[in-house]
Amino acid sequence: MHLEHHRDTPTALSADAHRPDGIRRALRIGLGGPVGSGKTATVAALCRALRDELSLAVVTNDIYTREDAEFLLREAVLPPERITAVETGACPHTAIRDDISANLEAVEDLEDAVGPLDLVLVESGGDNLTATFSKGLVDAQIFVIDVAGGDDIPRKGGPGVTTADLLVVNKTDLAPYVGSDLARMAADAKAQRAELPVVFQSLRGGTGVADVAVWVRAQLSAWTA
Amino acid sequence: MSVPAGAGAGAGAGVRSVARIVARADGRGGTSLPVLESDGPLALRRTRSAGTGARVMLVGAMSGPLGGDHFTVEGRVEEEARLSVGSAAATIALPGQAKGEARYDVRLDVADGGELHWLPEQLISAQGSDLRVSTRVELATTARLVLREEQVLGRVGEEPGRLTSRLTVRVAGQAVLDQELACGPGAPGGWDGPAVLAGHRAVGQLLVVRPEFAATPVAAGLLGEGASVVPLAGPAALVTAVAPDALRLRRLLDEALASLPRT
Amino acid sequence: MSRAALLVLADGRFPAGGHAHSGGAEAAVRAGRISGAASLEDFCRGRLHTAGLVAAGLSAAAALGIDPVALDRAADARTPSPALRVAARKLGRQLLRAARATWPSAELDALGREFPKGAHQPVVLGLAARAAGLGPVDAAYCAAYESVSGPASATVRLLSLDPFDATGALARLAPEADRVVDRAVEAARRAADEGLDALPAGSAPLLEIGAEVHAAWPVRLFAS
């Protein structure tokens, strides 16, 4: 009834599954995690993996630059009109959790400009372990940590590690060099997350972003079902 | 004819003067001045013009207005006429014998195809003065305007008086610029602080209205940290500048005007 | 009508995008014009009596029911800097979203249809106050307070200023904010009878110039 109520109003408010014109909107997936864990690289890899089968776009939330958006533009993972940056006033977690209005506008503007879209990836600025996305902004969220940040991060938990719909442990290729114990990280993550999935990945070899892409496709099937 | 403002209302009233200019296309590509009325301290002189337009100098206003005075200058540019108005020297607002603020009203009206250059010298707000300036410009859709306003806060080494200056510009009845600067003792707080003037003693604006700016607005730009050139929400470009003194302010405004696309 | 609705609308955590804007403080900090608590207070005082007064007048006028389209044009004329017009519309759009979700109202929906990319924030604020059952005085208070609270909290982040100093500055400005609200509401009531020229038009040259300087930076913390 909530959705029906807003269907004929000028713009959607937040999590409404339909756009004002009645079309089902794109699935929105958030990617959060600490600085340097590989969020932007994962977004870039996902774009390359999915761009031929899906209509997608990216919103970046940079802390004080447009660097993440510019990296994606430089890498040409998507046409420039499908990438937009939100300025967050030194508080990236505020823009994805407490006050999501700028991100909602960015998502809607992308759908208006290049839509219809199947998927919008919303990348948060690098932040701390407590930063999670509001359910008013995204339908599912990925939390990206890396082995070099310390193999005790899964044990420490925090909202990102514990509640994200998918936990990605990135840069597994570095584990031998930084002395991180992958088995211990997996066991700790399992203890924190119970049945919620965890993916270990290295974007520099092996299957790359493939496991995450599989998870994204499954989310999308559920969304459009 | 100038009369004491509120004549008969008692001693201490200032002078009320109204000067008028009407510029009319003469049908031969030139501009005539069917009305050119000086009044008391507001003296108007037609001067030789370089181009086809008429040129007028305001020569008398430098000694006023004093407290209690109320000066008005009315200028009307009719269809296809071209008028340029300057002043012979800076205008100095001084404290007067009469109590209360002085007022200086400028009312300008430019018809379609008309062009007005309103480029007076600086207004200097002397210590102890209290002046309210109001400039209202009404432009028809295809009228053109170059208007400069410069305020200097105090003569050299002197505290400024109180000055309130409002500039309202309409194109086809629609306000494209409405701003009021208030400064000096008694003005609302913070006028000399980091948000408003930050110790600068000269502040000015240069407004250029051209119909073609509706389709191709100027790009926003900067001249150092003290001046910006911006497109307004309408067929107009505005230069806003602050400077330590009148000379450097004029340099900024001249430079900004030169940076605008030629017509 | 509930007076407590004013607290909801004026709350710095009201999710309407304000946190990403510094109200000109970031440009003033970089230029060295704000370097501590005293200069922050003076900055806020100047902003309160210029941009704050204008915003309060527009908000009060919108809360009185004056045509928001005309008010939006009046806001444009009082905002020469295109960077500030963009910021004001962005914030207006974000506030409209939050207000519509919080106080559903036909007037707010109509405003959204009229301005899909956002009306000037103070105009939206006035209509949001109306939708919340508040009046012109409340709307003007929100606008006047926001005009100083935004730069204050931004400066705490930019200069690592002692937050108690910043809050103290806001408290010292309170009596002046009262006077700004009185002026704004009186002007808005006159505007209802005499037309929008009666609304305040206070300008701050360095806020206008600073906004353009700020917009030209490749790297910045705040959107404006």
What is the bridge-based pairing of β-strands B221-222 and B202-209? unpaired
Minimum CA–CA partner of C26 in chain B: B195
Give the integer Cα–Cα distance in Å for B222 and C86: 18
C13, C89, C94, C102: best mutation site toward chain A, by most A Cβ within 10 Å? C94
Measured from the Cβ of residue C170, the count of other Cβ atoms closer than 10 Å reads 18
Backbone angles phi, psi at B193, to 5 degrees: -90, -175
CA A41 to chain centroid: 11
Give the integer Cα–Cα distance in Å for B160 and B162: 7
A92-117 mean pLDDT: 91
Model pLDDT for residues C151-171, shown as the tens digit of each residue: 999 999 999 999 999 999 999
CATH number at residue A115: 3.40.50.300
Counting residues of chain C whose pLDDT is more than 90, the rounded percentage is 95
Q: Residue C137: pLDDT band by 50, 70, 90 thresholds?
A: very high
Question: Which pLDDT score is estimated for B62?
Answer: 56
Measured from the Cβ of residue B9, the count of other Cβ atoms closer than 10 Å reads 9
Amino acid at position A207, single letter: T
ipTM of the complex: 0.95
Question: Which pLDDT score is estimated for A5?
Answer: 41
Give the integer Cα–Cα distance in Å for A182 and C152: 46
Question: Which pLDDT score is estimated for A11?
Answer: 56
A99, A110, A133: best mutation site toward chain C, by most C Cβ within 10 Å? A99
The domain total for chain A is 1
Determine, yes or no, domain membership for C55.
yes
Q: Do A9 and C15 touch (CB under 8 A)?
A: no
Whether there are 3 or more C-beta pairs closer than 8 Å between C and B is yes
DSSP B213: G
Secondary structure element (H or E) that encloses residue B217, with its range: none
- Closest by CA position to C75, among listed C95, C61, C64: C61
CATH number at residue C204: 1.10.4190.10
Minimum CA–CA partner of A134 in chain C: C15
Give the integer Cα–Cα distance in Å for C148 and C155: 11
Model pLDDT for residues B141-163, shown as the tens digit of each residue: 999 999 999 999 999 889 999 99
Determine, yes or no, domain membership for C104.
yes
When mean pLDDT is compared across A100-109, B91-100, C101-110, C152-161, the lowest value belongs to: B91-100
In this structure, is the dihedral angle defined by the CA atoms of residues A60, A62, A68 and A73, taken in order, positive or negative? positive
State the burial class of residue A42 (Cβ atoms within 10 Å of its Cβ: 0-12, 13-18, 19+).
buried
Minimum CA–CA partner of C210 in chain B: B225
Does residue A95 or residue B50 have the better pLDDT? A95
Determine, yes or no, domain membership for A5.
no
How confident is the prediction for chain C on average, in pLDDT? Answer: 96
- Compute chain B's Rg from CA coordinates: 18
| Owning domain of residue A69 | 19-224
Determine, yes or no, domain membership for A10.
no
| CB of B152 less than 8 A from some CB of C | no
Determine, yes or no, domain membership for C221.
no
Give the integer Cα–Cα distance in Å for A191 and B149: 72
pTM to 2 decimals? 0.91
Instruction: Please tell me whether A208 is known to bind a ligand.
Output: no
Determine, yes or no, domain membership for A64.
yes
A27-51 mean pLDDT: 94
Give the integer Cα–Cα distance in Å for C138 and C152: 21
Please, are residues B103 and B65 in contact by the beta-carbon 8 Å criterion?
Answer: yes
Determine, yes or no, domain membership for A203.
yes
**Of C42, C74, C216, Cβ closest to residue B193:** C42
Give the integer Cα–Cα distance in Å for B123 and B163: 10
Question: Measured over all CA atoms, what is the biggest interatomic distance in chain B, rounded to whole angstroms?
Answer: 55
Give the integer Cα–Cα distance in Å for C74 and C201: 9
Give the integer Cα–Cα distance in Å for A198 and A185: 10
- Closest by CA position to A152, among listed A179, A121, A117, A131: A179
Question: Measured over all CA atoms, what is the biggest interatomic distance in chain C, rounded to whole angstroms?
Answer: 47
DSSP A25: P
Q: Where are the alpha helices (DSSP H) in chain C?
A: 4-10, 25-30, 37-47, 53-63, 68-77, 82-102, 106-114, 121-131, 136-159, 163-194, 205-215
Determine, yes or no, domain membership for C8.
no
Which chain A residues have a beta carbon less than 8 Å from that of C19? 88-89, 91, 94-95, 98-99
Backbone angles phi, psi at C70, to 5 degrees: -65, -40
Any bridge partners for residue B237, and if so which?
Answer: B208, B231
Question: Which pLDDT score is estimated for A6?
Answer: 41
Determine, yes or no, domain membership for C66.
yes
Backbone angles phi, psi at B107, to 5 degrees: -120, 115
| Owning domain of residue C197 | 23-215
Q: Which of residues 154-213 of C touch A (CB under 8 A)?
A: 154, 157-158
Question: Which pLDDT score is estimated for B215?
Answer: 95
Give the integer Cα–Cα distance in Å for A191 and A212: 21
Q: Do C112 and A11 touch (CB under 8 A)?
A: yes
Q: What one-character-per-residue DSSP string does B50-100 give? A: SSSSEEEEE-SGGG-PBTT-EEEEEEEE-TT-EEEEEESS-EEEB--SSSS
Question: Which pLDDT score is estimated for B65?
Answer: 80
Give the integer Cα–Cα distance in Å for C172 and A209: 55
Instruction: Please tell me whether A171 is known to bind a ligand.
Output: no
Determine, yes or no, domain membership for A12.
no
Q: Where are the domains of chain B?
A: 15-200
Q: Residue B9: pLDDT band by 50, 70, 90 thresholds?
A: very low
Q: Residue A22: pLDDT band by 50, 70, 90 thresholds?
A: confident
**Category of A150 on φ-ψ map: left (φ > 0), alpha (ψ -120 to 50) or beta:** left
Whether there are 3 or more C-beta pairs closer than 8 Å between C and A is yes
Helix (H, G, I), strand (E, B) or coil at A59: strand
Please, are residues A148 and A181 in contact by the beta-carbon 8 Å criterion?
Answer: no
Q: Residue B8: pLDDT band by 50, 70, 90 thresholds?
A: very low
Instruction: Please tell me whether A116 is known to bind a ligand.
Output: no
Angle between helix C53-63 and C68-77 (nearest 10):
170
Determine, yes or no, domain membership for C40.
yes
A131-142 mean pLDDT: 93
Residue with tokens 């306000």: B175
What's the number of CA atoms in the CB half-sphere (13 Å) around residue B178?
A: 23
Determine, yes or no, domain membership for C6.
no
Give the integer Cα–Cα distance in Å for A108 and A116: 11
Q: Residue B263: pLDDT band by 50, 70, 90 thresholds?
A: low
Measured from the Cβ of residue C2, the count of other Cβ atoms closer than 10 Å reads 10
